[in-house]
């Protein structure tokens, strides 16, 4: 049996849209119940506390990569913590440790973090975008029309999922889990 995958989660912080906060919590619980270990990087968008807290409540292992001054919230007091002052180093650590990147809808700062995490770097884990409320519909077109022509194995790099179940199925097809 394969080990549990480590999924780096990028999402908004959950406060602005109640429906998105609900999706963030559902994603954390869902991935935890599937046996995934979750990790997150403190970036421009902050740390996805709603997602991580829900995963922790569902008994998931959590790892966070944060700045030297970040105060770990009580809800994540049992999380494994890696500290680095430099954002690019935090993103590099995530790339080295994650098996896949799950991207949930979020604010523009989320796009900045995702760009920093994946930009032209070797060894980037596969990115799976959760297209909740068509949040990534424009990127779906990009993936199909442009991205696939420039990458020999585009499904190993970026995919768009329509639901959490679809996201998990895509993770399974990547041979990250049995």
Whole-model pTM?
0.87
Task: Give the mean model confidence (pLDDT) for residues 64-83.
Answer: 95
Model pLDDT, residue 32: 97
Q: CA-based diameter of the chain, in Å?
A: 46
Q: Please determine, looking at this structure, whether the domain spanning 6-126 carries the CATH number 3.40.50.280.
A: no
Helix axes 18-33, 49-57, angle to 10 degrees: 40
Q: pLDDT (tens digit, 9 = 90+) per residue, 101-139? A: 999 987 767 777 877 777 656 677 888 989 988 888 877
* Between 18 and 1, residue with greater pLDDT: 18
Residue ranges per structural domain of the chain = 6-126
Token pair belonging to 10: 């990028």
H or E, element range at 98: none
């Amino acid at each position: 049996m394969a080990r549990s995958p480590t999924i780096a989660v990028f999402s908004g912080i959950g406060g602005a849209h109640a429906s998105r906060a609900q999706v963030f919590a559902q994603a954390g619980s869902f991935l935890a119940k599937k046996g995934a270990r979750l990790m997150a990087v403190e970036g421009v968008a902050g740390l996805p506390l709603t997602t991580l807290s829900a995963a922790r409540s569902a008994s998931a292992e959590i790892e966070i990569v944060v700045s030297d001054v970040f105060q770990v919230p009580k809800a994540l007091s049992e999380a494994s913590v890696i500290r680095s002052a430099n954002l690019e180093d935090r993103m590099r650590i995530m790339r080295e440790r994650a098996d896949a990147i799950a991207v949930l809808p979020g604010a523009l700062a989320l796009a900045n973090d995702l760009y920093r995490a994946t930009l032209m770097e070797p060894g980037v884990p596969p990115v799976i975008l959760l297209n909740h409320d068509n949040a990534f519909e424009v990127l779906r077109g990009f993936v199909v029309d442009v991205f696939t022509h420039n990458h020999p194995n585009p499904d190993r790099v970026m995919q768009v999922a329509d639901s959490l179940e679809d996201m998990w199925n895509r993770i399974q097809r990547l041979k990250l889990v049995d």
